[in-house]
Chains A and B, each alone.
Chain A
Amino acid sequence: MKQRRSKLRILADILGIIFEENGARVTQILYGANLSYDRLVKYLDELKAKELITEKRDDQGARYYLTKKGKDFLKEFKKIEKFAEAFGVQI
């Protein structure tokens, strides 16, 4: 049975996609994070409010980028994920 993802994991997944794409659009994040549009918008708003991502608009719409704070958060999450893995804990 597949385990439910924690909020922290979802936020890290979104940040991970944005990082890998070096700036991502909503459709790319939707596809990668496996979320509904409404939930994704809610999480993106939260990440913007926490200054972990920034939004830039062009002709094709909005594109999201990681801030320095976002990159640090993702790096820290990877370490915690690895530490948790050592004790068999799933975040």
Chain B
Amino acid sequence: MIVITDIIGAIILFITSYYSLKAYKKTTLKVFLFLSLGFILLAAGRISHSIIFMTISYTKPARLLIRATSVTASFITLFSEVLAYSLIAIGYSRNNTKILAVHPIIYIGQIFVQTIGEIINIFLLLFIVFRSATIYLTNKKRLTLTTLLAFISLLVSHTLKFISLFGMMEPLFLLSKFIYFIGLLFFLVMLLEVETAK
């Protein structure tokens, strides 16, 4: 299920990136280039994450390898997200237990890096949400509200993911995934409105 939402989400993000790139080519405004790079990185993160997890579920490798691969996948996604939100923010400013017992340091290190990464993501998204809220309050248009709701959903999703890191709360982690997907659906609504513009 997570893999399916990852793939659908990546498609939405790819389309958003494509529109941003198209807007950059026509207008040469750098904000669109940053948005395009940001969205393509988010999409690449989702795709690499789902490819790695699909490979694990089909090949069924040793548990240690599963652990190492899932850690790598999480880092790739996290790194791409931090970079992606940084680019979008720049754009906006211009506008297993056994393994755990064997490798506690690696596990703690992973939690530490993920925590730092999520904190960065949350702060970047706070900035993005603040900017898009200001834009919405200025023009009060439905389209800007849709974009604002998309970024708010991503912010809520990352906040829930951050909280779930401490308590090992799987339902909260799954909820964060679901809210992330809702955020991407808001982007899809925005894109559909753009496509039907007259």
Interface residues of A (CB under 8 A from B): 6, 8, 76-89, 91
Mark interface residues in B20-50 (1 if CB within 8 Å of A CB, else 0).
1011001101011001000000000000000
Give which listed residue, B132, B190, B198, contacts A88 with CB less than 8 A: B132
B contact face: mostly helix, strand, loop, or mixed: helix
A contact face: mostly helix, strand, loop, or mixed: helix
Q: A80-B26, A82-B143, A83-B23 are in contact. Are A88 and B138 (CB under 8 A)?
A: yes
User: Total interface residues on B, using CB and 8 Å?
Assistant: 32
Cross-chain pair count, CB within 8 angstroms: 66
Q: Is B147 an interface residue (CB 8 A)?
A: yes
- A89 and B191 alpha carbons, distance in the complex (Å): 15
Interface residues of B (CB under 8 A from A): 19-20, 22-23, 26-27, 29, 31-32, 35, 91-92, 95, 131-132, 134-136, 138-139, 141, 143-144, 146-147, 190-191, 193-195, 197-198
Asked whether, in the complex, the Cβ of A78 is within 8 Å of the Cβ of B132, the reply is no
- A1 and B72 alpha carbons, distance in the complex (Å): 51
Give which listed residue, B26, B134, B136, B195, contacts A8 with CB less than 8 A: B26
**Distance in Å: Cβ of B125 to nearest Cβ of chain A:** 15
Q: Which residues of chain A are within 8 angstroms of B91 by Cβ–Cβ distance? A: 87
Asked whether, in the complex, the Cβ of B132 is within 8 Å of the Cβ of A79, the reply is no
Asked whether, in the complex, the Cβ of B26 is within 8 Å of the Cβ of A76, the reply is yes
